[in-house]
């Protein structure tokens, strides 16, 4: 699997392009804005985009859904519990003086234990609510895409609608920290880290 990170939007969301090396089929995780930049990366790679997945429904993670889906015909997926956030994303962006583009409705709703296959890539869905009700992480072997659940040295904020600090910390501890220490964590913002590093050094978890 090849992984390309595309920072997008004023909040510098990490949009991830995952490409199966064997089949060149691909998925995009969290196309938050700058649809032209996301499509430029897709076109430059020569991949066949099959799936767009939102780790959660906040406006900064869904802003280019419409652009990328229209350009590629990719299937759009997210957790059902974040549908209200997806529908209110434009209004939420306006509260912060920012803009967002309304997203199309998902074509598949994901739940804990689901899997998504892209070529030979298998993404396992892990539901970790707390930053948002329907926040999900996606595990592919030793690569873990966590949205805004976990960051290098921090965790996601929980003061937004539907947030819960206790749920977030419980989910991270019970579902993510038991993964192997060498698991690489790809967060929604900021640098990558590992499960082992966060076990030792994350002040919210130690």
- Determine the pLDDT at residue 146: 98
Weakest-pLDDT range from 66-75, 90-99, 102-111, 170-179: 90-99
* Mean per-residue pLDDT of the chain: 97
| Candidates 3.90.1410.10, 3.40.50.150, 3.90.340.10, 3.60.15.10; CATH matching 2-201 | 3.60.15.10
- Structural domain boundaries in the chain: 2-201
Question: Tens digits of per-residue pLDDT, 67-99?
Answer: 999 999 999 999 999 999 999 999 999 998 998
If pLDDT is split at 50, 70 and 90, which confidence band does 161 have? Answer: confident
User: Is residue 190 pLDDT above 90, yes or no?
Assistant: yes
Pairwise CA distance, residues 133 & 145, whole Å: 17
Mean pLDDT, range 125-152, rounded to an integer = 98
User: Is residue 35 pLDDT above 90, yes or no?
Assistant: yes
Residues 6+ apart with CB under 8 A from 17: 3, 4, 5, 6, 26, 27, 28, 38, 41, 42, 45, 47
90: exposed, middle or buried (C-beta count within 10 Å: 0-12, 13-18, 19+)? middle
What percent of the chain clears pLDDT 90, i.e. is strictly above it?
A: 96
If pLDDT is split at 50, 70 and 90, which confidence band does 167 have? Answer: very high
Mean pLDDT, range 106-111, rounded to an integer = 98
């Amino acid at each position: 699997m090849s992984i390309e990170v595309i920072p997008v939007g004023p909040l510098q969301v990490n949009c991830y392009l995952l490409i199966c090396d064997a089949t060149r089929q691909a998925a995009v995780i969290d196309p938050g804005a700058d649809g032209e930049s996301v499509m430029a990366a897709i076109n430059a790679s020569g991949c066949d985009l099959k799936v767009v997945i939102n780790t959660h429904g906040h406006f900064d993670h869904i802003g280019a859904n419409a652009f990328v889906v229209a350009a590629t015909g990719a299937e759009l997926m997210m957790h059902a519990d974040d549908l209200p956030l997806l529908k209110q994303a434009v209004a939420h962006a306006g509260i912060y003086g920012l803009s967002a583009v309304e997203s199309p409705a998902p074509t598949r709703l994901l739940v804990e234990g689901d899997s998504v296959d892209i070529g030979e890539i298998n993404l396992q869905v892990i539901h970790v609510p707390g930053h948002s009700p329907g926040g999900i992480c996606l595990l592919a072997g030793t690569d873990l895409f966590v949205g805004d659940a976990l960051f290098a040295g921090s965790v996601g904020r929980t003061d937004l609608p539907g947030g819960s600090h206790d749920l977030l910390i419980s989910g991270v501890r019970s579902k993510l920290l038991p993964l192997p220490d060498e698991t690489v964590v790809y967060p929604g913002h900021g640098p990558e880290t590992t499960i082992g590093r966060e076990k030792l050094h994350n002040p919210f978890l130690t």
